[in-house]
Structure 1
């Protein structure tokens, strides 16, 4: 392994994941909050899925999309956290080339899926507020299923070039990835030759896909605000807008830090590497951990069902 950063090779059999470069001595301590975040994400998202499945009153479009969001968060967090914890706890740094590409594809693909689900949830809020009488006819169970399938196919197809492009590059410098998981640009930066196709395609996915998603969400909320502002009383405005708070919180958690990290990864050379890697790891766990908390606290039906599970009424 000592020659892994100097040996010439075109396609390495393994990559070496460093975890948090420069903070190796603190890996065990760093693992504690990450393990706690992962446990919260697993318990929280499975709880959401269980409650929606067992509570008949929650069988509607918004909560079906919420189940899709919870499932996606489970896949995203599980695609990176077990290997990350193995690095922190057991110094298990090697990852096979094919396993690295698989992790990369699942992680980025389901991140695109999550963005699409947030768009679908924005459309659900738009129809529910701006066209309430047509909500049940527009967003039928079949339509919700088709939207979910379309978002899954979009994520899978758009990210599919990532591993194929990476596989065609030669790697003559190093097989060391200075973080705890295989991310697209982290692997591309190890390749020799002209890798601009991978870099440009990554930017296309970032700005074209996520950018378009943000535009659709913004347009939806402009229409929602217009509908809210014409309501006759402040109480009615607050009540209607309150149904959007959970979704808005999820949007902020997902898009704002993600855009910042994607841009700094490519262009900002002043951010210390260990700081950037640490913050990126925290960010990628935030939606998975916070979404079930946000919706569990803000959604009365979910909160009420959860209370009945742990505090059964005996009267």
Structure 2
């Protein structure tokens, strides 16, 4: 996927520790199209000047091809990417992007329920606006540590045709997931983005009630402590070349070492950059991106974290 050079056209403090950046193409013209739920990879300077890549959801208007908007929460316990954007990047600075890509798409449905936790509101903002414009039923429960920390609260309140429930933790505690699900029809599609405790609770609540749930994670889900790291062989379909993946090493690491070009970003199974078609073999899915249906199909995997349940995988590379 090609890199896109953009310049910071504006930066605005939206809430406590949250800054919005408006990014316009350096070369002018139009930016690539995107749909609600999409994110871009942003290249930042890491320690010692080594480039790092971080993912941020697009939260502007997909119809506006002249600019992208991202909102960045300063992660106090993060790896430095958000602090770099907050402290170093000003209007006029240039950045490199890749994308957009979308592993959190909005589905056609008669009703939609959105569950947002903190900065997890960013991909959901464009979704709510799209659903409202189409006239479908929607509701949203938006939780955060305080009203002052909740970005886009006012923008969401202006979206017509639905019901917004704001749940500041210092006033009201946590989102009441049971009440939120009990208030919508059984054919409602649920979307959830936020911290892991909210995602895990939403998965359990939706599973117990039979709701279809789509999630997006900013950090990898907890792995299965009983999962076995067995060795296996990967065949490259385009050349027939084979590489041996030992226990304790990722498919991506071994492929790159063998000279096979694999585009990666997070290397944690959360961004979907390295998603690869599987032609043969049974994947051992360990990512935080694919849905249960996509995992069951067995026709793709994220080689940065996933493995093989048998002795061989054939990848469409």
* Shared fold (TM-score, shorter chain, > 0.5): no
Q: Name whichever structure is richer in strand by fraction.
A: 2
Q: Name whichever structure is richer in helix by fraction.
A: 1
Larger radius of gyration: 1
| TM-score relative to the length of structure 2 | 0.23
| TM-score relative to the length of structure 1 | 0.23
